[in-house]
Each structure stands twice: as structure tokens, then as C-alpha cells.
Amino acid sequence: MNINELHQGFLEGTVPERELYSFLIARFRYVAQLRIGDHDEAEELVQESLIDVFEKIKDTEIEISFSAWAMRILDLNILHYFRTKGRRERLMEAYAGWTPSPDSEMAVGLKRMLLKCLRAVSGVNRRYARVLNFCHLGFVPDEICQKLKIGKGNYYSLLSRARTMLETCLEKGEVR
């Protein structure tokens, strides 16, 4: 039985979820390991991708083959990993071993810079600031979407743009 037949059987209820999961995890692990190299990072991406697939599988109308759709989810997660990897590494190097006290001059300066950048992001688009604020307050995506009356795709787009603007402002002192 191929992956598309497994998918169809899963939707019809004739194939258990674990069979589809077993087939996908083997493929995802192979591809992620080839592209990333680091076993732990690859495994984390595989798990994230599988969660995404099983969250979206019943609600998404798949116009291409299921195999291509599922691999696209993995590809997008890998792409996101490589986009953020360089930023993460630069930040880790810059702040390695640094733990300021809350009252230190450096911590106060960082708080000021963060507030300045949040105001700048808010000046560009208030929705960016609202999304960041709701995330900071601990709301889950569904709650934020309901409060802002937006769809999940729009929420993730706003969040991504807001985080990028905030990060750029913190690194370079400007908002683009």
C-alpha cells in the first residue's frame, strides 16, 4: 500500500492512524537527517512536522498528492530551521555566559531598548504589537485569533513579521 492509499484509508477510517504515522516517520527521518545532519535537531523537526500533518490532515483539502503535501510541511519546517539557525547562533555567542542582575545598568538598558523597539513595531503596524503582547501574556493561538478576529494563517504571518521586525530593531536599532 502506498502513502496516498494509506491517507485515503485513514480518512475513510479503514487504516489506523499508527500505520500512516509509521510510514511518515520513516520518510521524514530519512529526509531530515540527510538535510540537517544533526540527529537531535532532525528528530525535533520530524516530530514538529508530524504534529503539523496530523493537526491539519482532516481540515485541509489536499489538491496535490498526500505525499507531496506532507513532504511540503517537512520542507517548510526545515527551511524555517535554517532561517533561524544563524540568528540563534549569533545571539547565543553574543550572550554566552551573560546573566545580568535585574537592576544592572545593562539589564535596564536592554529593557529600554526592548520598549523602544516594541513602540517602533507598534508604529509600523498596531496588529504586530497586539500579537506580540498576547503571546507574551500567554494566550494560545486560537484565543489570539478569536480576540483579533483573524484566521490562523494571518496570525502566524503577523507573528512572524512582528518577531522579525523586533529582532532587526534589537540588532540594528531600526525597524524596516
- For residue range 52-68, what is the model confidence (pLDDT) as tens digits? 888 887 777 777 777 78
- Mark whether 111 and 82 lie in a shared domain: no
Q: Which domain holds residue 16?
A: 3-91
Looking at the whole model, is its pTM more than 0.75? no
- Mark whether 164 and 84 lie in a shared domain: no
Here the contacts of 10-17 (C-beta below 8 Å, separation 24 or greater) are 10/57, 11/57, 11/58, 17/54
CA dist 124 and 112 (Å) reads: 19
Q: What is the pLDDT of residues 34-55, one digit of tens each?
A: 888 878 888 888 888 888 888 8
Total tally of structural domains belonging to the chain: 2
Q: What is the pLDDT of residues 84-97, one digit of tens each?
A: 777 667 666 666 66
- Mark whether 72 and 107 lie in a shared domain: no
